[in-house]
Structure 1
Amino acid sequence: MKLRLSTLILPYRRWNEGGRAAWQRAEELGFHTAYTYDHLSWRSFREGPWFGAVPTLTAAAGITRHMRLGTLVTSPNFRHPVPYAKELISLDDVSGGRFTLGVGAGGSGFDATALGHELWTPRERADRFGEFVQLLDQLLTEDSVSYEGDFYSAHEARNLPGCVQRPRLPFAVAATGPRGLRLAARYGQAWVTTGDPKVNENGTPEQSVQAIRGQAEKLADACAEIGRDVAELDKILLTGFTPDRGRPLGSLDAFVDFAGRHRELGFTEIVVHWPISGSDFAADEKVFEQIAMEALAQLR
């Protein structure tokens, strides 16, 4: 099974003070896709600089040529499908059809109440997520959309000329629970996981592999329910959260072992965070670049 290697660049640096250089270097290193978080702030970075995902990706589209670009992930926490669809169509156009929308239900972090509303329950987040994905799918595939849901509405929302990628830009749906996995099966061109949250917190790497295998099996079941072949979906693992944490980036051999074990689970893409010293994503930049340039050849 062919495996792709991608990276995730957090938007914490000014564009002319290291931001631009990271995206350019990512393409030089041969990464398949470079993603960024779509947050207003995130965990330990809350008190420092943090820039918007859409402008960052638009700028990145202008200085790269072949590498795909995307979000990991956008959520309903502070996005509305109608204006966001227009931004996505624009991103797809500026990038020449190189954009992938990673989308998830969102969590209870800083974004969850930044607009001044009460924290949503897990059930309400799941309800909103389902409607968010459904409406985005319509907005990105139809010229004019009117819609009235429980959480979102649209009145003759026009999205001409539509996406460069047809019938629309691809969705990479982040999901671990049954409702999210059904959304991935119905709307996704890819499925995204960071592992099992409970196992990530207290488990072992071996337990993590077993938990992720279980997630993949449930995705296959969700696809079977609607008559879809699970092999049609790419499977993306966003690293940095499993019990291994940063160990896979400790050496080339460690990464090859990690990636190989997850390729056996059916993953087609592994995403590694761009190193940030003094953070959860600290790593030796020379080892990181060696992994980018040599790991896939060893896995073949």
Structure 2
Amino acid sequence: MTRTFDELGFYLLAGAGIDGPAALLHEARRGEELGFGTAFISERWNTKEASSLTGAACAVTERMTIATAATNYNTRHPLITASWATTMHRLSGGRFTLGVGRGIAAIHAAYGIPAVTTAQLEDWAQVMRRLWRGEIIANHDGPIGRYPVLFLDPDFDEDIRLALVAFGPRSLALGGRVFDDVVLHTYFPPETLRRCVATVKKAAEQAGRDPDAVRVWSCLATVGDHLPEESRLRKTVGRLATYLQGYGDLMVATNDWDPAVLQRFRADPVVTSVPGAIDGKADTGQLEHIATLLPDEWLSAAATGSPARCAARVREEFGHGADRVILHGATPDELAPIVAEYARQA
């Protein structure tokens, strides 16, 4: 019988998902075979549409939790989202977690989607839970908008976990007050992880909740040196650079990094020449150049080196306060040697 690690997660179609959505089927089966507790799905508006992928992942697995981390609350009507979550919950036998995030403000603005506020996320979470309890919500007038009637089924009594991908202190505190899981971002050094965990747990306690019942997930880039060098470059330098493209100011402020480094990165002609997300579009030469722009300190907030060293680094995250750890940025096949070492180190 395969040993299971409920404390470990991974992402399906990690990053840009360049192998296409069908790769999810093998990755989900393989992740369950290796013993992972949770498979996460992030949404990108290309071929990574969350509801389709979660249905596929639930259908080809039997034990593993399937979670979104994240989709956006404001790109679907509340009834659509609540119906989707209930469908996944029942399809999977209770193995689905609905995770949301604020999204990237610049992208939302470009597409004409209003920015997401903390009050909206809290209101939305409360509406979801009321719908899952079978309530009729009449004349709702709150941060998520006005709705004459919101209603699914009077026989519903669903216990569906809600997760929040959180960055700043307000989001972290909201996660502690209202959500069941809080998923942190990749490339958080230990001091950032400890601070984030403390913020979540304190908010839970102040809200009268059991802090231990709110699970905080570290999202740890895990890229062993058993992978080809080009792949490692894309999964480390390319991935961090893509985050800096999208929300670099937030990354730098959260980690107390030097903003001058970010400005030089943004102004670099190689960076500006990449037609899209760096982790998906940059070639090896471009990645090698971009690597010279990023301090070792920034890239060190990851599990790298031998599989044994990666496994030990994963275990360090628990010492910094994480309840669970996502081995981020690699496929289950790529993570297999690290999971084997993790099991041996137990």
- In our comparison, the structure showing a higher alpha carbon Rg is 2
Q: Which residue of 1 aligns with 2:144?
A: 151
1:163-195 per-residue CA deviation (whole Å, 9 max, x = no partner) reads: 6xx4x2111222233332332122222222116
Unaligned runs of 5+ residues in structure 2 are 222-239, 241-254, 256-297
Q: What secondary structure is seen at the aligned counterpart in 2 of 1:239?
A: strand
Q: Which residue of 1 aligns with 2:44?
A: 39
Contact between 1:53 and 1:71, CA under 8 Å: does it hold in 2?
A: yes
Q: Which residue of 2 aligns with 1:265?
A: 320
Indicate the percent of aligned positions where both proteins have the same amino acid.
22
1:222 aligns with 2:277: no
- 1:245 is displaced (CA, Å) by 6.3
Contact between 1:173 and 1:184, CA under 8 Å: does it hold in 2?
A: yes
Aligned residues: 263
Contact between 1:82 and 1:154, CA under 8 Å: does it hold in 2?
A: no
Q: Which residue of 1 aligns with 2:112?
A: 116
Contact between 2:190 and 2:301, CA under 8 Å: does it hold in 1?
A: no
- 1:14 is displaced (CA, Å) by 4.2
CA RMSD between the two structures: 2.8
Q: Which residue of 1 aligns with 2:7?
A: 4
Q: Which residue of 2 aligns with 1:162?
A: 156
Contact between 1:13 and 1:19, CA under 8 Å: does it hold in 2?
A: no
Alignment partners' CA distance in 2, 1:221 and 1:263: 18
Alignment partners' CA distance in 1, 2:195 and 2:183: 14
Which amino acid in 1 is paired with 2:215? D
Q: What secondary structure is seen at the aligned counterpart in 2 of 1:106?
A: coil
Alignment partners' CA distance in 2, 1:105 and 1:191: 13
Which amino acid in 1 is paired with 2:181? A
Alignment partners' CA distance in 2, 1:66 and 1:114: 40
Q: Which residue of 2 aligns with 1:44?
A: none
Contact between 1:62 and 1:94, CA under 8 Å: does it hold in 2?
A: yes
Which amino acid in 2 is paired with 1:162? F
1:243-273 per-residue CA deviation (whole Å, 9 max, x = no partner) reads: 3468515422222232222101232211123
Q: Could you tell me the TM-score, scaled by structure 2's length?
A: 0.67
Q: Could you tell me the TM-score, scaled by structure 1's length?
A: 0.76
Which amino acid in 1 is paired with 2:35? G
1:115-142 per-residue CA deviation (whole Å, 9 max, x = no partner) reads: 534x63xxx5333323222322322233
- 1:77 is displaced (CA, Å) by 4.7
Unaligned runs of 5+ residues in structure 1 are 42-49, 277-284
Matches within 5 A, 1:6-25: 6-10=9-13, 13-16=19-22, 18-25=23-30
